[in-house]
Amino acid sequence: MAMSSAAMLFCLLLANCAPTEGPPVRFVVPDGYLGPFEILQEKGAGEVILEHGEFVYRVPTNGMLKVAQVVGFTEWHKADAFFASGTPIPVKLTSEREQVPAELALYELWNTRTRYKFFVGSQAEMAAYVKEPVLETEGGRFLAGQWRTNQSGTLTNR
């Protein structure tokens, strides 16, 4: 049975529109690290390493990883996470239920084109952080009344 030209064209278009899978993304978090961390794209920062076909993001102890270009997130991809010692950390959606009470997991909180925010901890800890995020910038502290400007216009801690 011959396939019509229209049906063949439809199949070809459908195949070209199928999502492509990019390389997996691996997060390596310092042993014992709990709380938020960010991946921030910044000129002059180091490149993301491609190891064994995976983009590897090694989170520093201060929780702020700056990279020259955020890669691996724009295509569909698999993700896994580990503490530096090799202990696996489940990667979960923020809406996913815990299998065990207070189960430790890595959650993606939000992202922009150049900035990604994650959280390592239990679902309850993640939810509390999202509800009441720690003020992380001088601007945020200023708006919360924790900083003020002096006569020269410099921000100072109250």
Contact 33, 104 (CB under 8 A): no
Q: Is residue 48 within 8 Å of 28, Cβ to Cβ?
A: no
Q: In the chain, where are the structural domains located?
A: 20-157
How far is Cα 156 from Cα 65, in angstroms, rounded to an integer? 26
Q: Is 75 helix (H, G, I), strand (E, B) or coil?
A: coil
Q: In sequence order, what E strands does 7-153 have?
A: 25-29, 35-46, 49-51, 54-58, 64-67, 79-83, 88-89, 91-92, 105-111, 115-121, 147-149
| Angstrom distance (rounded) from CA 55 to CA 130 | 27
Which pLDDT does position 44 carry in this prediction?
A: 93
Looking at residue 133, what is its pLDDT?
64
For every one of its 158 residues, what pLDDT tens digit does the chain have, with 9 covering 90 and above?
454 555 444 444 444 555 577 889 999 999 999 999 999 999 999 999 899 999 999 999 999 999 999 888 777 878 999 999 999 999 998 888 878 888 999 999 988 889 999 999 999 999 888 887 655 554 555 555 554 455 555 545 44
* Cα–Cα distance for residue pair 99/146, rounded to 1 Å: 39
Q: How far is CA 50 from CA 17, 23, 45, 47, 75, in A?
A: 26, 9, 16, 9, 15
